[in-house]
Amino acid sequence: MEHAADEQTIMNLIMAGGNAKSSAFEAIYAAKKGDQETAKAKLKEADEFMVAAHNAQTDMLTQEAQGNHVQVSLLMVHAQDHIMNAITFRDLAGEIVDLYGRLD
């Protein structure tokens, strides 16, 4: 039996992904200015947002594994897109922060 994913869960995924990406971008900006301390703090903040997203995804995957199939909506696809982009951006930001640190 299919059920729709909770809209609040979906919105939490979108917000967590957007917040993680924003924090990662702030990390790059701080590193560019030579502020490695802030850059690393912003990367940690991005990671915390990603943990929140991961936990929400894990809950949905657990439900799916238990036979409670989630109906996939455009909003759910949008949320997953945000998460995937945030993961990629966070990984890249970590490399850029490291590079700026080596250049200083």
Q: What is the pTM of this model?
A: 0.87
Q: What is the mean pLDDT of residues 26-48?
A: 98
d(CA 104, CA 98): 10
Query: What residues have CB less than 8 Å from 85, skipping those under 6 apart?
Result: 17, 21
Q: What is the mean pLDDT of residues 53-73?
A: 87
Has 54 been annotated as catalytic?
Answer: no
Domain range list for the chain: 2-103
Q: Which residues are annotated as a binding site for Mg(2+)?
A: 81
d(CA 20, CA 86): 6
Q: Which residues are annotated as a binding site?
A: 81
Q: What is the mean pLDDT of residues 1-21?
A: 83
The hierarchical CATH code for the domain 2-103 is 1.20.58.80
Candidate list 54, 69, 78, 82, residue with the active-site label:
78
Helix/strand/coil percent split, the chain, to 5: 85, 5, 10
